[in-house]
Amino acid sequence: MLAELADGRMQEIKQLLLSLHEEDAAFRAVQVCRQIDTECIMSDEDEVGHEAWLARSHAAEHRLAWIPARTGKGLAAKLRYALEMNGTDLGDKLVEQVLGQLERWA
């Protein structure tokens, strides 16, 4: 069934998948942090270190993309993931964004 749906409608499906993340503040926070950090580290000399950091950042973004943000369980999962990243700017930003989302729901 997915193949039938996907046939000739890939752009529409991609837009739908992207729209699922529009309300996800934590996912957007990861994207923004990654963009800023990418711009900052490109001017430095440590290419191997930066590639490793970008790989970790991309993995975090990918993981967050698959955690739903429209449910309490999804937000709790995002907070748990942020706590795993304890002490990092990205983890702090995730906590801030998820708490903001919870406050808007309240």
Establish if 8 belongs to a structural domain: no
pLDDT at residue 10 in the model: 60
pLDDT more than 70, % of the chain: 48
Establish if 5 belongs to a structural domain: no
Establish if 6 belongs to a structural domain: no
Tell me the C-alpha distance between 43 and 84, whole Å. Answer: 29
Q: How do residues 38-84 score in pLDDT, each as one tens digit?
A: 666 666 666 777 777 777 777 777 777 777 767 777 777 777 777 77
pLDDT at residue 2 in the model: 47
Whole-number average pLDDT of the chain: 68
Establish if 15 belongs to a structural domain: no
Mean per-residue pLDDT, 6-35: 62
Q: What is the largest CA-CA distance in the chain?
A: 49
Looking at the structure of the chain, the number of domains it has is 1
Establish if 57 belongs to a structural domain: yes
Establish if 81 belongs to a structural domain: yes
pLDDT at residue 12 in the model: 62
The residue range of the domain holding 87 is 23-105
Q: Which of 1, 6, 63 is nearest to 30 (CA)?
A: 63
Alpha carbon separation from 22 to 7, 27, 42, 67, 89 (Å, rounded): 25, 9, 27, 13, 22
